[in-house]
Amino acid sequence: MATQIEHELEEVEGARAGEREAFDRLARHYRTLLLAMAFLRTSDREEAEDLVQEVLARAWEKLPALEQPGAFAGWLQRIMRNACCNWSRGRQHQPLSLEDCQPTSQPALDPPAVMLARERQWVLRAALLALAPDNRLALLMHLWGEYSYEEIGRLLDVPVSTVDGRIYRAKQQLRRILREQDTDLLNEPRRKWGEKGRKS
C-alpha cells in the first residue's frame, strides 16, 4: 500500500508540473469513484459522465494550486461534491419541459431487443437507487472500476471490513429486488453473489 501511495504522489507531482500523461493516469484511476459519486446525485449515467468530464477538466486547470499532493484524492472528491451541488441547484431552477414527461423515443418503432435492453436498464437503475447511498457507492466502485476492497477503503477512509459489509449488503438487497434474474447486468456471474469477503 505504501508503494502505491508513493507512486500516486509521484504522479500528482508530475501532473502539477504540467505532465498531461501523469494526470491522465490519475484520471483513469479515479474516474470510477467520481462516476459513482455523480451517479449518487444524478441517478443518471449520462449526466454523471458529463459531471466527471467537467470535474476532471476543472481539476487539471486547478491542479498547480494544490499545495499538498497527498491530499489529491480528497481534493478531487471535493471538486465533485461541489459540481454535484451546482448541478442540483441548476436542476431546481430548470422548468419541466413537455419532453421530460414523455418517452424519448416511440416504443412501437423500436426493435424488441432494443426495448428489452432499455427495460432491463430501467430495472437495474431503479434497483440501484433503492440501495443505501454508502452501500451503492462501494458497490459501484467495485463493479464499475474493479477497485479492490482495500482501494475502496483507502479512498473512502473506512476500514476494509466496512467496505466488505457494504458491498455484501448491497448485493444481497439487489438479489432481493431483482429476484435473482438480472445479476448478469452488473457483469458478475450469479455464483459470486452469495459470497462474502471477496477482496479482489
Q: What is the pLDDT of residue 120?
A: 66
pLDDT at 183 over 80: no
Cβ-count burial of 93 within 10 angstroms (0-12 exposed, 13-18 middle, 19+ buried)? exposed
State which fold the 108-186 domain adopts: Arc Repressor Mutant, subunit A (1.10.10)
Determine the pLDDT at residue 118.
61
Residue-wise pLDDT tens digits, 9-68:
899 999 999 999 999 999 999 998 999 889 888 888 888 999 999 999 999 999 998 988
Q: What are the extents of the domains in the chain?
A: 2-92, 108-186
What is the full DSSP assignment across 10-48? Answer: HHHHHHHTT-HHHHHHHHHHHHHHHHHHHHHHH--HHHH
Provide the pLDDT for residue 127: 80
**pLDDT value at 160 more than 60:** yes
**Residue 102: HSE in the Cβ half-sphere, 13 Å Cα cutoff:** 7
Please report the pLDDT score of residue 149 as a whole number.
92
Q: For a pLDDT cut of 90, what percent of the chain falls above it? A: 34
Q: Is residue 3 over pLDDT 90?
A: no
Are 59 and 53 contacting, i.e. CB atoms less than 8 angstroms apart? Answer: no
Per the listing, cell 477512509 goes with: 157
All three cell numbers of 52, joined, read 466527471
Instruction: Label residue 120 left, alpha or beta by phi (over 0 means left) and psi (-120 to 50 means alpha).
Output: alpha
**pLDDT > 70: percent of the chain:** 72
CB 138 within 8 A of CB 152: yes
Most confident of 49-53, 98-102, 122-126: 49-53
Q: How confident is the model at residue 117 (pLDDT cuts 50, 70, 90)?
A: low
Report, as an integer, the average pLDDT of 88-115: 50
Residues in the chain: 200
DSSP assignment letter at 191: G
Q: Quick one: pLDDT band at residue 153, thresholds 50, 70, 90? A: very high
Mean of pLDDT values over 60-79: 91
Which residue do the cell numbers 437503475 mark?
125
**Diameter of the chain by CA atoms?**
57
Name the phi and psi angles at 148, rounded to 5. -75, 165
Architecture of domain 2-92: Orthogonal Bundle (1.10)
At CA 184, angle to CA 117 and CA 179, rounded to 5?
90
Q: What pLDDT does residue 167 have?
A: 93
